[in-house]
Every structure is written in structure tokens, then in C-alpha cells.
Structure 1
Amino acid sequence: MDTSDSGTEQQHRAPAPAEPPRKGWRRWAMDTRPLRRPAYRRLWSSTIVTAVGSQLTAVAVPKQIYDITGSSAWVGYASLAGLLPLVVFALWGGAIADAVDRRTLLLITNSGIAVTSLLFWVQAVTGLESVGVLMVLLAAQQAFFGLNSPARSASVARLVPAGELAAANALGSTVTQTGLVAGPLLAGALIPVVGLPELYLLDAVALCVTVWAVYRLPALPPLAGSAARRAGLREIAAGFRYIARHKVLLLSFLADVVAMVLGMPRALFPQLAAETYASYGEGLALGLLFAAIPVGAVAGGLFSGTFSRARRHGLMVIGAVVVWGVAITGFGLSTSLWLAVAFLVLAGVADMVSMVFRGAILLSAATDEMRGRMQGVFTVVVAGGPRLADVLHGTAGSAAGPQAAVAGGGLLVVAVMLTLAAAVPALRRHRV
């Protein structure tokens, strides 16, 4: 596939100024070139606020459900209640993002998420204590997120030049991963001080900041020459046909499926903490295991200058997935908690590299009129893969033991990824 932009699309991209190579420590630090562009800077700044704020609600909802029911099963049911609308509306939202002004869609959906957060606060402060209401609000919130995410991701390619897409993805992914670490810690510190209702209110206020930042973005309508289209099942199906025809896109999705479904062992963390690493203290071990991958991802983002300028994006994805598989295998074979955490941190770094370049491939190898739908599928894959992995690893861990299941999954990641790369050369040959 010719991945060059059309003349029309190039006119809508910010120019890439020539710059001297970075020297000294700056070669290794995060590549911040995209932040020189005011529009991208506004979008990224809003992500900083919501990355932490959204985690306050993500902690508060299961905590409130458990407080009401005393049952972890209901917490699991709530997670499933949010998954279906996320999948459906992410696919539909991708089609909508290709048919309308993406800035307008972001304004509507961010406002919708803010309203649901405000309704979470209302039900909590009034003492309603209804699991049904909580699950309905969670489903609505995830539906708005599904509509929002494809438009947000697809907009990046209109705000920065092609050569800075990897750096822009690294900046966004680093903020998101930092939120996964800082948000729950902040929620845990605030709950005893201010209570659950105020967590919802803080998230709603943070989302107001996001709406203001999005309001200040330039208009992002479909490019001139794009055919007017609807956003229905036919357009969603056209997106899947587009993926099937373009092997580099198909393999970028398969790479994430391979890594996450076969190699994400989080369902086995509680068992490993209770059995393999019990001598270190079960609570300490569990906390370290859950935190290690996000910490590694943040570290990878902070030092993204080491890889963000690479042009062989396909090879970077293949290498990152292989390193992820090797690291997960090492984790599965480790009997020392600290060695296990080190392998998980390495896996987190590899996951960041993979995220950066898979995202860049989706933005550079797809035309603008298809980017929304590509990001919709990307959202579904990212959300669904780890949940499938929970089922697969949980079953395998019960049958063969947790360490064998983890190590076996890591080896499968390496074998399947190398087989795909050898059988279909499109991904390893892809470059910006």
C-alpha cells in the first residue's frame, strides 16, 4: 500500500520544520516536538486532567458497588455491563468520526461523559444505593467514551505532521499510563478524607476543563473531496473490509491481540501473590505486580526519545511484541518477587513501544476518511483483549498452575508473532 498522504490531506497537516539532531541527554528524553503545536498541546493538556480524573470514577464505582452488595461478583458484573456499550459505540463512533466534524463530536461526547459523572455524584450524595442505577450510568459513560475515543485519536494526525505521530502517541500514552498509576493512588488517599461522592464531583470538574480545551481546537471536518456518508452498519462494515485489504493494518491489530490475549497474565496476579510470592507479604506482592507494567510503560514514555524517531514502524511493533513475550516468559519463571517485578517493568516498556508504533501505523497507513473507524476497532481490541486474556489465563492457571500458564503464554506470544512476521512481510516492511 502506498502510505503517502494525498495532496488535500497534506494541506491540513502542520508543516514539519527542519531541526538539528538533539544532543546529550536530550537524545534519550521524551520527544516533545508535538507540544510546539498549539492545537495538539491543547488536546494533550486535556488528557492530563482526564487521565487522573477518570480513574477517580473508575475506583469509586466498584467501591460503591461493593459497599452496597458486599459481593465481588457484582463488581465483575458491572465491568461486563460497561464492556458491551463500549464495544458497540466505539465501532459506531469510529464511523461517525469519519462523517462529521471531529471537534464537534468531541465536544458532545466529553459533555456527555461530564454529565454522567455529575449524575454519579447526585446518586451518591443522595444516598440512593441502587446497583441498577450505577450499572446504567456506567453503561452510559462507557457508551460516550466509545463515541469519544476514535474521534480523539483520529484527530491527532490532523494536528501534527507524519514524522511526529510516534512522538505524539508516546506523549498521549505516557499521560494515560501515568493516570493508571496516580489516579488509583489519589483515590485511595481521598476516600477516607472526602468520601466517594466528591470523587465523582472532581471527575466532573476535570471533564469541564477538557470540554474547554476541545472547544479551543480548530474545526476538524472531513477533508475536501471526501464523499458525504452516513454512519451506519454499511460504513462500519466498510471499515472492516478496509482492514482486511490492507495487511499492514490487519497485522498491527493482530500484533496487539497476540500480545494481550496470549500474554497478559493479570488474572493470575492474586494467585501468584498468595502462593509463589507469599513470603514477601501477599498485599505487597499483589500491589507490586499490578503496578509494575504501568510503571514500565511510564518509564518507556519518559525516555521515548530513544525510539520515537524510528521510521521502520512495523519492525518496531514486531520487536516490541517479541520483547513483551520474552519478558512475560521470564516473569512466569521467576521465583523472586523482585526479579518478577523487573520482568513486568520490562514488559511495560515493550508495551509502550508497541502502543506508540501501532498507533502511528493506524494514523499514517490509513486515509483520513477511514481513521475514525480504524480507531474504533483499535479501542475495541485494546478493551477486549485483556478481558479475553483474563478468561484464558484464569482457566490455564487452574489447570496447569499459574507459573506454567504465564511462561507458556509468553512463549506463545514470541512464536506466533515471529510466525506472522515471517509469513506476511507487509508489517516488517512498513515505514513512514
Structure 2
Amino acid sequence: MIALDRVLDTRPLRGHAGFRRLWIGSTASAFSGQVAVVAVLAQVWELTASPVLVGVVGLATGVPIAVFGTLGGTLADALDRRRLVLFTSAGAAVVAVLLAVQAAVGLRSWLLVLALVAAQTGCSALGSSARRTFVPRLLPRDQVAPGLALNHISFQGAMLVGPALAGLVIAGWGTSAAYALDAAATALSLYGVARLPAMRPDRERTGRGFVEGLRDTVEGWQVLLRTPVLRAALGIDLAQTVLAMPVALFPALNAERFADDPRTLGLFLSAIAAGGIVAALTSGPATRARRPGLVMICAAAVWGVALGVFGLVDGLWAALVCLAVAGAADTVSVISRGTVVQLATPDSHRGRVSAAEYVVGAGAPGIGNARAGLVAGYVGPELAAATGGAACVLCVGLIGAVGRELRRWTVDGRS
């Protein structure tokens, strides 16, 4: 182990060419995906000038995530996962090209844009569970957590830099260029996957009909809910996202405290990503922790505390510090939870359990933001943030107290 690994464990990148190629392609795709997200919002707003229809973009992504994310988990445990990801990534790249074409020729149909966004999201969701299973198959058991941490650095970096890059691309060359960039990066990610070995599940299920496939999907959820370690990890994820999700409160808080300055609103979002990047870049101690479940419990509690305090503090810098701490805690929690889920799940069920985690992780924040907005409508955004953070800490504490298996679970599978 080199000195750097004590801060950020880079062994997966240095020692495993397959993971390295996969990480490079995924990183490029993550950055371009953020560019495409901004391009979609900008184009729908340009075509409609309606905040309601801009909000419909969330439905165009949320519904395919729920439907195709669940289906993708079943397919990931029935087919060669590498081929499934190649197929779905190729589909997403084709749709990105179609988005670029419609913007370039000026079709000016917001319905077409939403339909293409839904199609691209469905392709990505269909392959997401299979892609998540690559890390534990490519890396030794003791390097799974560092591999997940490196993936999270890509995600946080994309969240921080991607929107700014989108603004430059769209301002200079238009939305069609942003979509074209997404298509090129998605095609690049195909190279990293194509060079991987076959990724068949330990127990393939082929030639099964709809009813059998439905049973397989239900079985994946049963494994998740009946396994104490996985059930507790899911509960903590829900506590964080449903009870303490802050993004919907940002506009109201910004209007009340900072004169509705759009630059401040952007800083709120960037602060969370900045904290997440710092935590990911210094994740060595967390990824080497023998008890990732205990680390996840502590990090989730810090997330709740930081967001609760965010609702009460005055001053921009104090607010930004709270959000950065929350972002750092969320990163540690996500890495630790991913380690537990991937290593505590049998490979024969890993695709379906990963799909369940993906659906919850992608869908629950939307529910949490809706809850936060509803509460803020009655008690104001400050109290909504404070009570949400407190409720999160309370639930995480209860789950941690009851979930002895999660507290004691170790990377070697013992508790």
C-alpha cells in the first residue's frame, strides 16, 4: 500500500485494468449525463416557459427508473450482465443521438423531448443493476469498498462540474452540442464494458416465462427484506432520503434569507457536492473500516444533524458549511451501504437486490423532496429542515439500536 492509499485507496485503479477501463468510461458518461440533464431542462423551458412542464421531466425519468430498474435486476440475475450493459448502453447512446438531431433540426416538440428522455432513462435503468454488480466481480473482497468510493468520486465530480460545463456548452454551441457530447461519452463507456470478461450470475435462469420472471423479482425483494443486515441498510437509506432531503427547500430558504439570489441557490447545490468530493477523496479510512454498517449508521446520523442545523443557522457561510458536512456524510453513508449490500448479497441474487436498492435510491429522494415541500407549506422552510433532520436522526438511531446485525457486520461476512 502506497502512502496515498491511506487517504484515498487507489488500489483498484492501479492493480485491475478491467476496473480502470470501466471507471474511465463511467466517469466520462457521468459528466456528460449531467450536461444532458441541464440541456433537457433548458430546452423544455425554452419550448414551454412552463415550470409545470419542466417538472414533468421528473416523471419522464422517475417512472422508467421504477419500471425498468426493477426489470433490469431480474435480467441481471438471468443473463450475461456484460452483454446486458452493452445492449442498454448502446440504446442510451442511440437516443442521445436522436436528442441531438431533434435539437439541431429545430423540431420544437417538448413531447418528443420527454419521450426521448424517458427512452434514454429506461435504457440506463435497465442496465444499472447489472453494472452495479461489476465491482464485486472485478475486485478482491477487500477492495470492493475502495472501488465504490472511486465510483462515487466520479458521481460527485459530475454533480459539481457537470452543470457548469453544460452552461458553457449550451451557451457556445446550443443544446444539440450538449446532447452530442452525451452520445460520444456514452459510446466511450461501451469500450470499458466491451473489454470485460463474461459476467454471468452464479446461477443463471434462462428460458423462463413472465410468471417465473415476476417470481424472481419478488424473490429479490424478499431477500432484501428478510436479511436483517440488508433490511436495516435499506431502512437507513429511506430515513435519510425521505425524512431529510433538503433540495426542495432551497428556493424558499434562498428567497427568505438571501433575497432570492440565483447565485446563492447554486452555491447550496454545489456545497453538497463539494463536501461529497472531499469525503470521497479522503475515503481511505472509511473504506478500510472493518464494520461498514456501523460507519453507515454514524454517517447517516451526521447527515440528519447537519441538515437540521442548516434549517436554523443564519449567514451564508454557516449554511454552506452545514450543507458541505451533509454532503460528506452522505458520501460516506453511500459507500458504506454499497459495500454492505454488494458483499452481504449472494451473487445469484445480487442483480435483483441491486435493482431494489437502485429503485429506492433513485425514487426516495423525490418523495423526500415532496414531503419537505409539503411540510414547508405549513410550518415554513426553516422548521421543515430542522424537523426533518431531527426525524432522520431519531429513525437512524432506532434502526441502529435494533439492528445489531448491521452494527456488527464485517467485511469478511462475520457479525
Instruction: Please name the residue that 2:236 is paired with.
Output: 255
Alignment check: 8 A CA contact 2:77 2:205 kept: no
Structure 2 portions without partners, runs of 5+: none
Instruction: Please name the residue that 1:245 is paired with.
Output: 226
- Counterparts of residues 151-190 of structure 1 (less than 5 Å): 151-190=130-169
Instruction: Please name the residue that 1:13 is paired with.
Output: none
Cα distance per residue 1:315-359 (max 9 Å; x no partner): 011001011111111111111111010011000010000010110
SS of alignment partner, residue 107 of structure 2: coil
Query: How far apart in 1 are the matches of 2:47 and 2:119?
Result: 20
Query: How far is 1:185 from its partner?
Result: 0.4
Query: How far apart in 1 are the matches of 2:295 and 2:45?
Result: 42
* AA partner of residue 264 (structure 2): A
1:265 and 2:246 matched: yes
Instruction: Please name the residue that 1:276 is paired with.
Output: 257
Query: How far apart in 1 are the matches of 2:26 and 2:399?
Result: 34
Instruction: Please name the residue that 1:6 is paired with.
Output: none
Instruction: Please name the residue that 2:270 is paired with.
Output: 291
Alignment check: 8 A CA contact 1:297 1:345 kept: yes
Instruction: Please name the residue that 1:328 is paired with.
Output: 307
1:397 and 2:376 matched: yes
1:195 and 2:174 matched: yes
Query: How far is 1:422 from its partner?
Result: 1.1
1:116 and 2:95 matched: yes
- Counterparts of residues 210-221 of structure 1 (less than 5 Å): 210-221=189-200
Match of 2:20 among 15, 23, 41: 41
Instruction: Please name the residue that 1:50 is paired with.
Output: 29
* AA partner of residue 236 (structure 2): A
Cα distance per residue 1:370-409 (max 9 Å; x no partner): 1111111111111111100111100111111111110111
Query: How far is 1:284 from its partner?
Result: 2.5
Query: How far apart in 2 are the matches of 1:131 and 1:346?
Result: 38
* AA partner of residue 320 (structure 2): V
% same residue: 39
Query: How far is 1:27 from its partner?
Result: 5.4
Query: How far apart in 1 are the matches of 2:65 and 2:204?
Result: 27
Alignment check: 8 A CA contact 1:101 1:220 kept: yes
Cα distance per residue 1:292-324 (max 9 Å; x no partner): 111111111111113210010110110010111
Match of 2:321 among 342, 363, 388: 342
Structure 1 portions without partners, runs of 5+: 1-18
Instruction: Please name the residue that 1:69 is paired with.
Output: 48
Alignment check: 8 A CA contact 2:92 2:120 kept: yes
Query: How far apart in 2 are the matches of 1:111 and 1:37?
Result: 24
Alignment check: 8 A CA contact 2:79 2:205 kept: no
Query: How far apart in 1 are the matches of 2:205 and 2:381?
Result: 52
Query: How far is 1:277 from its partner?
Result: 2.8
Alignment check: 8 A CA contact 1:99 1:229 kept: no
1:91 and 2:85 matched: no
Alignment check: 8 A CA contact 1:321 1:350 kept: yes
TM-score by length of 1: 0.92
Cα distance per residue 1:211-253 (max 9 Å; x no partner): 1121111111123x55657472111101111112201111111
Query: How far is 1:78 from its partner?
Result: 2.0
* AA partner of residue 79 (structure 1): G
SS of alignment partner, residue 318 of structure 1: helix
* AA partner of residue 390 (structure 1): N
Query: How far is 1:143 from its partner?
Result: 0.6
- Counterparts of residues 202-241 of structure 1 (less than 5 Å): 202-223=181-202, 228=206, 230=208, 232-241=213-222
Instruction: Please name the residue that 2:294 is paired with.
Output: 315
What is the total number of aligned residue pairs between the two structures?
Answer: 407
Alignment check: 8 A CA contact 1:177 1:294 kept: yes
* AA partner of residue 331 (structure 2): M
TM-score by length of 2: 0.95
Query: How far is 1:424 from its partner?
Result: 2.6
Moved over 6 A (4+): none
Instruction: Please name the residue that 1:30 is paired with.
Output: 8
Query: How far is 1:186 from its partner?
Result: 0.3
Query: How far apart in 1 are the matches of 2:207 and 2:131?
Result: 20
1:352 and 2:347 matched: no
Instruction: Please name the residue that 2:82 is paired with.
Output: 103
1:137 and 2:116 matched: yes
Query: How far apart in 2 are the matches of 1:326 and 1:339?
Result: 14
Instruction: Please name the residue that 2:59 is paired with.
Output: 80
Query: How far apart in 1 are the matches of 2:401 and 2:172?
Result: 56
Query: How far is 1:56 from its partner?
Result: 1.4
Task: Kindly report the root-mean-square deviation, in angstroms, between the aligned alpha carbons of the 2 structures.
Answer: 1.3
Alignment check: 8 A CA contact 1:27 1:306 kept: no
Alignment check: 8 A CA contact 1:327 1:343 kept: yes
Query: How far is 1:206 from its partner?
Result: 1.0
Alignment check: 8 A CA contact 1:314 1:427 kept: yes
